[in-house]
Amino acid sequence: MRGARSAKWVVSAIVVAMAATACGGGDDSGDGDGEAADIVRVDGGEPQNPLIPTNTNEQFGALVIQNVFSKLLDFDDNGEIYMVAAESVESNEDNSVWTVTLKDGWTFHDGTDVTAQSYVDAWNWAANIDNNQNNSFWFQDIVGYEDVHPAEEGAAPTADAMSGLQVVDETTFTIELTTPVSYYDYKLGYDAFTPLPESFYDDPEAFGEHPVGNGPYEFASWERGRAIELAAYDDYQGDDAAQNDGIEIKNYETLAAAYQDLLSGNLDVIRQVDPRDLPVYEQDLGDRAINQPYNGIQTIVPVWYNWEDTDPRVLQGVSMAIDRETITTTVLNGSRTPADSFVAPGVYGYQEGASGGITDYDPERARELVEEGGGVPNNEIAIQYNSDGGHQEWVEAVCNNLIENLGVTCVGDAKPDFATDLEARDADQVVSMYRGGWFQDYPLIVNFTKELYASYAQSNYGRFNSPEIDELFAQGDAAATLDETVAAYQEAERVLFEEMPAIPLWYQNVNGGYSEAVSNVRFTAAGQPVLTEITVN
Amino acid sequence: MGRYVVRRLLQMIPVFIGSTFIVFMMMYALPGDPVRALWGERAPDEAQMAALRADLGLDDPILIQYWHYLTGLLQGDFGTQIASRREVIDVIGQALPATLRLTALAFLITVVVGVGMGLLAGLRAGKAIDRGILFLTLLLISVPVFVLGQTFQTYFGTRWGWVTPTVQDSEDWGQLFLPAIVLASLSFAYVARLTRASIVENRRADYMRTAKAKGLTRRRAVSVHLLRNSMIPVVTFLGVDLGNLMAGAIVTEGIFNIQGIGGTVYRSLNSREGSTVVGIVSFIIVVYLVVTLLVDLLYAVLDPRIRYA
């Protein structure tokens, strides 16, 4: 009897436990509208931030934002500008005031008109420090930014709006800059410079879950942890209207799982295959495989606080001791393209062979240069990287090159994850060199040089400091036309190869592909598929 | 018995508080700052970081932060994620159903297949079937779960098309079957070994002879007396294993694309989302505590000599 009574207790405890867990279980799924519509399924993941253009700076959120919103202007594969939502973007003579004229007749997905005010209000809101937007710094060139976004920590804004933004009429507004910039229109091509509808301000939090934009697709639904659905917007006024009925962005835990789905017809477009599948994917997919460089570069960056007294020729030698061609084709399975410049090829201002041979593999010349420069300090190099990002293999390969060709000791300095890696960089605690990665904000040479190697640049974790380079950048920024700017920056790049603030390794490649169910799949120089052009067979 | 259960439930409170404290402090001790991480490779805007920290209460001393967290927890508030500004309870609630389904299915397979094979092997000890089961279980124990998972996925999913290679809809039990087998494989191999050893030992026990002497059928002697008495070590293992199946399914979840607890806690750890990690770990701790209690109670059911007062 004793046993039976105990059993009763066990049963009731189980019932309580089941009842407690059942609360989480009962969500209903409302799918079942059939596959009649031409929906393109593309791989994605859980967006990290709320879906507000000025708060999104990682790939999964950006994939949604870039299709739900249309920017003022965009870039072709050579980094040249074309207009999208803007009729024109023009500067005054000294590039201090920019006038944006919008195309007529555009509407948000809720039916309200897109006006100059929609842009100005959105930017003022995003720049305001109280609204905690990750991308607020994008508005720092505009007059009055200091008033809505004071630089001192803890200070409150003194104004609601930036005085540099002025609405002229329904479709025109002006942007006044604190310092003239000849290429400000390039910055306007970033995701943050998009308009927001009136309804946004009523409830930004709800908007973050269901954004309403002005782009080719309207946001349809978000089934957390499974998929985000976008539907083609019928009243879209732009030239890039969707050629399909909608997009389903499926959530994947791993790239390998997405690839299996692509092979079995449960996914249409994969944006990147897992390193594990790199050796086979071109064979599996045939001409449906895509392998092309995009505007991202990987470098190794010597930290100046430890390398300052070393002759730059040593670093040139280190650069020439690395066999980029072999590493990219073997260790990296063709997922990178050897770099010959600090700038990626799809960027305006890129010059083929800008390195002048310093990125070529030449072990003998490498040894000579290192000797002429007085040798590697302590004969030791360590490359810091985050070990959760698949970098270990190539770091080891690069080290092997250096050990073999220069007779130095070289080790990988692994940090367990990116957060730890960044902390060491922020605190100036990198031992020797770190793995640098840079992806374009806008495809102009400025973005790949000044933002990384100017002494005052915030992302200059190597703390490289060269008055000569700073001066050349300043000349470029002060130039009257874009071409003069680019010329000055190209000269600066030449000098960069003399001073070696970083060693360019290779450009990132898109290793993507698509299923037999779709056609017209193309990736941009920004590394993203052009979803609007895809047709379903 | 009732008082025993109440006492055990009360004991859970300090254990729960202590473990959340330890996990909270461990998250805090990790290098890397979650607010800083929002800017990635790019240098952050100091003023904006300060404003965000103040907004999220991350500028308070760590003990105050823990106090806020704990008092929030008692009111059912698990906190808010730093990057997504979502309620942590929503994040957990989104990942939990899939994990619970997968765990339930895997656990069922573990119990049914594991005990079944163990019983068979134990009763036929030394015969061909015993050797066959020994071989199979040793194989499953030695093959890493990602090898098994990817092999099954490639053959049953991609090559032969019997099932979809990944789980398209985690509410469909049929699709969860393959991942559940992979997840359960290691456990049921262990359970089979444990059961077999226990059965072989007890088969010759005095009570089995008595049962035979008083004329019980073999079927009844095995199912009521032998099996029940042999279950104690197995139940102990199953109790611990339930927690492992739930929290440790990250590899299986990754292969079959199940958006469950394992992947969520891994991502949160990487982006230093402290409140999410502590929330999930606390939940797992509660699961462990409750299961251990159930196991202890089950001892009394299985062996009437064990009594709780």
The pLDDT assigned to A445 comes to 96
Domains of chain B with bracketed CATH: 1-88 (no CATH), 95-306 (1.10.3720.10)
Nearest to B157 among A154, A264, A419 (CB): A264
Angle in degrees, CA B57, B61, B64, rounded to 5 = 75
- Taking contacts as CB-CB distances below 8 angstroms, the residues of chain A near B45 are 136-137
Query: How high is the pLDDT of residue A286?
Result: 94
A134 touching B (Cβ < 8 Å): yes
B196 touches chain A (CB under 8 A): no
Read off the pLDDT band of B228 (50, 70, 90): confident
Residue A7's pLDDT is what?
52
Interatomic CA distance for residues B128 and B142, integer angstroms = 21
Q: What is the 3-state secondary structure (H, E, C) of A175-230?
A: EEECCCCCCHHHHCCCCCCCCCCHHHHHCHHHHHHCCCCCCCEEEEEEECCCEEEE
* Banded pLDDT at B309 (limits 50, 70, 90): low
Asked whether the predicted pLDDT for residue B52 surpasses 80, the reply is: yes
Residue type, A66: Q
Portion 85-124 of B in contact with A at CB < 8 A = 85, 90, 92-98, 100-101
Interface test with B, best of A1, A8, A9 (most B CBs within 10 A): A9
Assigned token pair, A312: 């730059």
pLDDT of amino acid A25: 36
**pLDDT mean for each 10 residues of chain A (537 residues):** 50 48 38 64 92 91 95 94 96 94 95 96 95 92 94 88 95 95 94 96 94 96 92 94 95 92 94 92 94 95 92 95 95 94 95 94 95 93 91 95 95 90 91 94 95 91 94 92 95 95 96 95 94 95
Contacts of A130 in chain B (CB under 8 A): 51
Q: How far apart (Å, rounded) are the C-alpha atoms in residues A161 and A176?
A: 13
Statement: the pTM of the whole predicted model exceeds 0.80? yes
Chain A residue with the nearest C-alpha to that of B34: A419
Domains and their CATH numbers in chain A: 7-232 (3.90.76.10), 294-509 (3.10.105.10)
Q: Report residue B142 CA to chain centroid gap.
A: 20
- Amino acid identity at A69: F
Interface TM-score (ipTM) > 0.90: no
A257 closest CB neighbour out of B41, B257, B294: B257
- The partner residue sitting opposite A134, judged by closest CB among B39, B255, B293, is B39
Tell me, what's the pLDDT at A31?
A: 41
Interchain CB contact of A33 with B (< 8 Å): no
Average pLDDT over residues B59-64: 89
Q: Which amino acid is at A305?
A: Y
Q: What is the largest CA-CA distance in chain A?
A: 98
Torsion, CA B14, CA B17, CA B18, CA B20, rounded to 10? 150
> Cβ–Cβ of A153/B258 closer than 8 Å?
no
The answer for B 215-254 residues in CB contact with A (under 8 A) is: 253-254
Per-residue confidence (pLDDT) for residue A486, from 0 to 100: 96
Search chain A and give the residue with CA nearest B295.
A10
Predicted local confidence at residue B182, as pLDDT: 93
Residue A223, strand partner residues: A227
The pLDDT value recorded for residue A9 is 55
Provide the number of CB pairs (under 8 Å) joining chain A to chain B: 185
Q: Nearest C-alpha of chain A: how many angstroms from B277?
A: 16
Residue A33's pLDDT is 44
Q: pLDDT (tens digit, 9 = 90+) per residue, B251-265? A: 899 899 998 898 899
CB within 8 Å of B223: residues ≥ 6 apart: none
* Contact (CB<8Å) B31/A252: no
Q: Which residues of A touch B168 (CB under 8 A)?
A: 266
